[in-house]
Chain A
Amino acid sequence: ETGVTQTPRHLVMGMTNKKSLKCEQHLGHNAMYWYKQSAKKPLELMFVYSLEERVENNSVPSRFSPECPNSSHLFLHLHTLQPEDSALYLCASSQTLAGAPQYFGPGTRLTVL
């Protein structure tokens, strides 16, 4: 498999559930990102990891918990979400933190009931 993959592609969860989103990049990149894409709003950068270290957390609520066990994998753990958290969650990677375009996965469409 090539590029950036994300699983699951679709997820429906209740407000009390705990679930995780997975992202894997096969590009040998060192930086990975989580974005939230909501209707009628610009993409929102949530988290940035470089070489498995979190370098940015853009005031994201604690009900979203990222994990980066190695440079190829990135997780987003979800718990006690709200309906307004329903969105498309996109993962991206880049060669380094600076000076590189980002390559995106297909996203996970999350619906919170």
Chain B
Amino acid sequence: GNSVTQMEGPVTLSEEAFLTINCTYTATGYPSLFWYVQYPGEGLQLLLKATKADDKGSNKGFEATYRKETTSFHLEKGSVQVSDSAVYFCALSRTQGGSEKLVFGKGTKLTVNP
């Protein structure tokens, strides 16, 4: 079936550190891949997406590249800020019965300390 596995958290970094959150997926066909972010007390916000192999999604300094050969979509940022503290969800979309469904990972909590 379709599933998403992302690294267990929590992740704690100092400001300006490099961030990697690993995400791998299992899917039939060629899903689109997403990263969502959930700030404390808020809903999920779309951070970035990639719709085909070798696409790179980027937003707010975050990047992720759709790697079909390794079925991965790792999230990276070169220099994190305190304001990046949040829970990050990797997700894939699958089309079934004419509708697109999102399958989410369990989320990775990131805390950035000053």
Contact = CB atoms under 8 A, between A and B. Distances in A.
B98 interface: yes
Given A42-B105, A42-B106, A105 B98 contact: no
Interface residues of B, number: 23
A56 B44 contact: no
Interface string A35-48: 00000111101001
A100 B100 contact: yes
A43 B42 contact: no
Interface string B29-60: 00000101000011111100100000000000
A107 interface: yes
A50 interface: yes
Contact of A90 (B44, B49, B99): B44
B73 interface: no
A55 interface: yes
B89 interface: yes
Interface string A49-80: 01000011000000000000000000000000
Contacts of B100: 94, 97-100
A97 B96 CA distance: 10
Contacts of A40: 106
B95 interface: yes
B45 A104 contact: yes
Interface string B84-114: 0000010000010111111111110000000
Nearest to A91: B43
B79 to A, nearest CB: 26
Contacts of B34: 101
A31 B101 CA distance: 11
8 contacts: A40-B106, A42-B4, A42-B104, A43-B44, A45-B101, A97-B98, A101-B49, A102-B102
Interface of B: 4, 34, 36, 41-46, 49, 89, 95, 97-107
